[in-house]
Amino acid sequence: MATAAKGVVLLDFWVSPFGQRCRIALAEKGVEYEYKEENLWDKSPLLLKANPVHKKIPVLIHEGNPICESLVIVQYIDEVWSNNPLLPSDPYERAQARFWADFVDKKIYECGTRLWKLKGEAQEEARKDMIEILKLLEGELGDKKYFGGETFGFVDVAFVPFSAWFYSYETCGNFSVEKECPKLVAWAKRCMERESVSKSLHDPHKVHEFVGHLKKMYGVE
């Protein structure tokens, strides 16, 4: 059930978890859009014009208007296309959802980067931090089907793209996400049963291959 939306373009990069958030949100709403793959080492004039402040993906361009910052984009999508709401209707629940999505933003990517970039003591610290971050998120999930409760919601969208990076985190950090946070692994599997998620995320081995490229680029290992 796709709604032909007038002029929706997503500037993105295949493996970006931030871009994937937008893809998942658009798919959940059944919005048709044009996907434009950017080469981050040779950014298009369109990207530079659409996001002059940060020059980063993802950027959603709706009827010629650019929206930047993945969680800002997801909230925009949620507000413009009101079917299958991602944010709850209760203000307190909304505040909690925003808090945890923001927590994912603040913690996961930065810690993940330390995990693959650093060695020795610094990497060990990154490993400890990542396990702590994942355990906190697992605590918030609890025994719920999704972070959003019975329905797939804002925090699920914000966090699930990083599940494709679990394998890479485990390999770089020498730990097992399944052992440390079994509920998170089960949750990720449930999310992958949704077409919006399975079509947006890449195979964890492909992600790890990409991390290998990054490592070479930065002269790590």
Partner 1 sequence: MAGGQELKLLGLWASPFVLRAGIALNLKGVGYEFLEEVPGTKSELLLRSNPVYKKMPVLIHNGKPICESMIIVQYIDEVWAAAGPSILPSDPYDRAIARFWAVYIDDKWFPALMKIIAAKADDEETAEAREQVIAGLQLLEEAFEKCSKGKDFFGGESVGYIDIAFGCYCGWLKAAEKMAGIKLLDKEKTPLLMGWAARFCSADAVKELMPEVDKLVEVGNMLRARQNAAATN
Tokens of 167: 């394998």
Task: Considering only the stretches 68-76, 148-156, 159-167, 197-205, report the one whose residues sit in contact with partner 1 under the rule CB under 8 A.
Answer: 68-76
Instruction: Report the nearest approach of partner 1 to the CB of residue 202 (Å).
Output: 26
Contact in structure between 173 and 130 (CB atoms under 8 Å): yes
Q: Which of 65, 151, 174, 176 binds partner 1 (CB under 8 A)?
A: 65
Q: Check residue 64 for interaction with partner 1 (CB under 8 A).
A: no
Residue 31 β-bridge partners: 3
Give kind and range of the element (H or E) at residue 41. none
Cα separation, 177 vs 170, in Å, equals 7
Q: Which of 62, 114, 127, 208 binds partner 1 (CB under 8 A)?
A: 62
Q: Which of 22, 50, 57, 68 binds partner 1 (CB under 8 A)?
A: 68
Q: Which of 72, 195, 199, 205 binds partner 1 (CB under 8 A)?
A: 72
Cα separation, 104 vs 128, in Å, equals 16
Instruction: Report the nearest approach of partner 1 to the CB of residue 135 (Å).
Output: 12
Nearest-10 crossing angle of helices 120-141, 91-117: 160
Q: Check residue 109 for interaction with partner 1 (CB under 8 A).
A: no
Contact in structure between 74 and 25 (CB atoms under 8 Å): yes
Tokens of 11: 């500037």
Contact in structure between 183 and 137 (CB atoms under 8 Å): no
Q: Between residues 13 and 103, which has the closer beta carbon with respect to partner 1?
A: 103
Cα separation, 65 vs 57, in Å, equals 15
Q: Which is nearest to 131 in space by CA: 189, 166, 180, 204? A: 180
Q: Check residue 21 for interaction with partner 1 (CB under 8 A).
A: no
Task: Considering only the stretches 12-20, 62-70, 154-162, 176-184, report the one whose residues sit in contact with partner 1 under the rule CB under 8 A.
Answer: 62-70
Instruction: Report the nearest approach of partner 1 to the CB of residue 204 (Å).
Output: 27
Instruction: Report the nearest approach of partner 1 to the CB of residue 45 (Å).
Output: 20
Instruction: Report the nearest approach of partner 1 to the CB of residue 98 (Å).
Output: 5
Using CB under 8 A, which residues numbered 123 to 162 contact partner 1? 136
Binding residues (CB under 8 A) for partner 1: these are 53-54, 62, 65, 67-69, 72-73, 75-76, 79-80, 91-92, 94-95, 98-99, 102-103, 136
